[in-house]
Every structure is written in structure tokens, then in C-alpha cells.
Structure 1
Amino acid sequence: MAILDSKGRLFGKINLLDFGALLVIALVIFGIFVFPGTSGSVAQVGTKTVPMEVDLVVRGLNVRDPQQLFDQGLKANGKTNVIIRNQPHGEITIKSVKQLPRTVNVPQPDGTLKELPDPKTNNFSTDMLLTLEGKAQITANGPVLGNSKVKIGMPFELEGFNYNFNATVIDLRLKEK
């Protein structure tokens, strides 16, 4: 009996093309399950995670009763949902919330400017300084919170039970472990 017959079968039973296809499929399945590859994203390779504080400023937030917002939603040591560059990051801790006084620059008779309290023509506009705490990964391009780089000047969207507004990053503080 010949090893290969006239129809291209091994030992008269197995077609060579079918055998080759089965061998390729078996190797692919073996490669998927035995060597699945690395886990995680490429951006996380060689990075370390450190605690980070982010200061945000909110200018001109229209709210009827800011104290109610602070009591019910934005509490120190509470949590808020953060969206960075239209990508949800998840919950992050609120370290502190401070309402900023509204002021206006008033020219003086001697030509100087003096900062005085705003006479409150618009009682529904509030300015705030928020400090958030989270864990950031340090990369060559700076800190990364979730999957987004965090830099001064970029907008954060804060969302909670009774609020959704934008704030701007004004300071980053990395804390070494």
C-alpha cells in the first residue's frame, strides 16, 4: 500500500488538504487558549500608581441654594462620579468643597484697582473650589486617572444625585507612597 494514492489521500483514507486545514485550526485553538497574550492595556506597562489630589474650580454655577447642594450632594469625604473627556472614570472621593466669594474689580480715583465683594445682582451664580482624591498612574506623559491624562486646564464633568456640571483642573498634587 502506497503512502499517497492518486487522489491525494494518505494511506488511502485522509485527504492532505483536509489534514492541513485541521492542523491549522488545532494550532490556532492551541494558541488562543495556551498563550492568550498579555492582560491590560499597553499604557499600563511600566507605570506606578500613587495617590493624587486634583483641585477644580467651578465658575458661575447656577444654583438656587448652594448650601443645599453642599449638604445633599457635594459633601466633604463623599463621592462623586467623574467624566473626563467624555469617558466615565467612576467614583472619586471629594476631599473638600469651598464656596468662593464673588468679587468685582473696582477702579479707584487714584487709578488703582481694588477687589470688592460683588453687590450680588445675580443671587443664583456660585463659584467653588473642589479638591478630589484618587489614584493615578504615573506615565512618561504625566498622571493618568482612569484612561485619561489629567493636566491643568482640562475640564472634568462631575455628576451626582442632584447635580451635573463642569469644572476645570487648576492644580495637581501627587503624593509619593
Structure 2
Amino acid sequence: MAVIDAQGRLFGKVNILDVGAALVILFVVLGIFVLPGSGGPVIGNSGSKTVEVDAVVLGLSARNPKELIRAGDKTSFIIRNAPAGQVDIKNVEFLPRNLAITQPDGSVKPLPDPRVEAQFVSNLLITLEGKAEVKGDNIKLGGTDIKVGVPVELGGQQYNFKASIIDIRPQ
């Protein structure tokens, strides 16, 4: 008796294609339930550290921006439309709004913006502080990767505006 007969049956009883399909299904089930990958969060290999994030806000329109956002407050932090929890506002620096004005000698000098509507527009440099998972060069805040250049959203009870990350410093 041959191991595989002319009709492709193993020992004349079971089709070899059925055996192959059953083995594939068995390996898939074993791969899913017995040997799960590291697709989920790995708690043991990552360390939670305090991270400082500098974000710049350009063109914030508000009557009293110094009353809206202050150092010591908490703000919600949203990265790529995914909430990443709350972070502390460590420092708020208001950047000057200047215009490049050409001088009679041909040089350029930065001078304060004289337009009336410019008094309601502010540029800010905000330092935020929160707990993040740091694993090598990968920093995750609220389960979402943060990197320089990533647009974020800051929200409080009276404000919601966009900023851009310009620096990340693990402590």
C-alpha cells in the first residue's frame, strides 16, 4: 500500500489537502492563543517617567489669554485626535508679536505690531509636564507616540486650541 495513492489520499483514507488545511488552522489557533505577540502594551519593559514637552501656539485669538492658560493648571492633551489624558502646565511664556520693518538704510528691524487687532492675537511657548512611557527613543503619552512636529490639541473649561510640539525632554 502506498503512502499517497493516485487520488491524493493519505494511506487511502484522508485527502492530503484536508490535512494541510487542518494543519494551517491548528497553527493559526496556536499562534493566536498560545504564543501571543507583543502587539499589546508591555508593562514590564517600559518605564513610566516624567516628561516635559514644549509646545508652541501661534496666533491664539483671545481677549485675555493670560487669564485663560496659567502655569500650575491642568489641561487635557489630545494627540492626533486621540485623548492622551491630562498634563500639568509648568510654564507659559508669551512671545512678542513683531513685524519686520525695513529701515531707511536698507536694514530690517523687528518692531512691535502696531495694528489694533494684533492686541488680541498671541503667540505662546507652553511647557507641559506629564507621565509617559519611555522605551528607548520611543515616548508614549497616553498610549500615543509623541514626537517633535506632531500637532496637539490643548483643552480646558474655557479654551481649546492647537499647538505644535517643538521639544521633548524625559526627566
Q: Tell whether 2:135 aligns with 1:139.
A: yes
Q: 1: distance between equivalents of 2:154 and 2:42?
A: 25
Q: Tell whether 2:75 aligns with 1:76.
A: no
- Paired residue for 1:154? 150
Unaligned runs of 5+ in 1: 1-31
- SS of the aligned residue for 2:57 comes to strand
State the TM-score, normalized to the length of structure 1: 0.69
Written as runs of structure 1 = structure 2, the 5 A alignment for 1:1-177 is 41-42=40-41, 44=43, 46-69=45-68, 74-122=69-117, 123-175=119-171
Identity of aligned residues (%): 43
CA displacement at 1:115 relative to structure 2? 1.3
Deviations 1:108-162 (A, max 9, x none): 2333321111113322211111110011212345211111111111111011110
Alignment check: 8 A CA contact 2:59 2:122 kept: yes
State the TM-score, normalized to the length of structure 2: 0.71
Q: How many residues align?
A: 137
CA RMSD of aligned residues (A): 2.4
Q: 2: distance between equivalents of 1:60 and 1:93?
A: 22
Q: 2: distance between equivalents of 1:39 and 1:150?
A: 20
